[in-house]
Amino acid sequence: MTRAASMNPARRNALIASGVLVFHAAALWALNSGLLRRAVEIVVPVEVLSEIITPAPKVETPPPAAPKVEPTPKKLPPPPRPEALPVPAPPSPNAPVATTLPQPPAPPIATPVAAEPSPPAPPAAPAPPKIELPSSDATYLQNPSPVYPPVSKRMGEQGKVVVRVLIGADGLPQRAEVKVSSGFDRLDRAALDYILKCRYRAGTVNGVPQAMWKDAPVNFVLE
């Protein structure tokens, strides 16, 4: 019996498997290092090698389209039968006939008118000033009586003289003039002298003394 025949079958299988592994490892190493490609290029043409090495593109087949299912038409229920409507009886010739009177038109709605604002009240007028005219009637003034000219007495001259006199704020006469003459020159001069010798209470405006004109009458009457 030979040595190979006397070898244990299990050992033989292990050797075969080891040899296959060594062969594959050597082939991978040769493929990585380019030795196998160079060896094949020598033996096999480049075009054949490229066809062997380059894998063919994988063509994906589209899935078959699902069959189109048409919807089944839905049966509609039959329309209801029309009911017979009652026929109205003809009106009796003696029956009263109702008449509809037209409604009167609605009265127009009055549109409220906005009241115009009243104009502002005018400002109140200022109160008139309180004026007090000069006076010579006060007893404390102690004025003398007018002097009747003796010649006018002998000649019977008499009359009334109105003298216009300007009285200052101090109550003293500042100027005098005959406003109404008596008709006699002597009586007029005597009236002017008398008025200029008198003292007066000054006139006032709202209580403030001011210069004012005053008409002072002087009567000359024979007794």
**Separation CA 132–CA 106 (nearest Å):** 73
CB 172 within 8 A of CB 199: yes
Q: What pLDDT does 12 receive?
A: 75
Helix (H, G, I), strand (E, B) or coil at 110: coil
For 182, which DSSP code? -
Amino acid (1-letter code) at residue 207:
G
**Separation CA 175–CA 218 (nearest Å):** 16
Q: What pLDDT does 25 receive?
A: 79
For 141, which DSSP code? G
Task: State how far Cα 61 lies from the chain centre.
Answer: 76
Token code pair at residue 99: 């008449």
Q: What pLDDT does 70 receive?
A: 62
Task: State how far Cα 184 lies from the chain centre.
Answer: 86
Q: What is the pLDDT along the chain (223 residues), one digit of tens a residue?
A: 445 445 577 777 788 878 878 877 777 776 666 555 555 455 444 444 445 445 555 556 666 665 565 666 566 666 666 565 555 566 555 655 555 566 667 666 766 666 677 778 788 888 888 999 998 887 788 888 999 999 999 999 999 999 999 999 999 999 999 999 999 999 999 999 999 999 999 999 999 999 999 999 999 998 8
Helix (H, G, I), strand (E, B) or coil at 149: coil
Token code pair at residue 10: 């299990």
Q: What pLDDT does 92 receive?
A: 59
For 2, 114, 221, the CA distances from 184, given in Å and listed in that order, are 208, 77, 13
Q: What pLDDT does 26 receive?
A: 74
CB 151 within 8 A of CB 186: yes
Type and span of the H or E element at 189: helix 185-197
- Cβ burial 1-22 (10 Å sphere, 16+ → b, else e): eeeeeeeeeeeeeeeeeeeeee
Q: What pLDDT does 213 receive?
A: 95
Token code pair at residue 21: 């592994």
At which residue do the structure tokens 């049966």 appear? 75
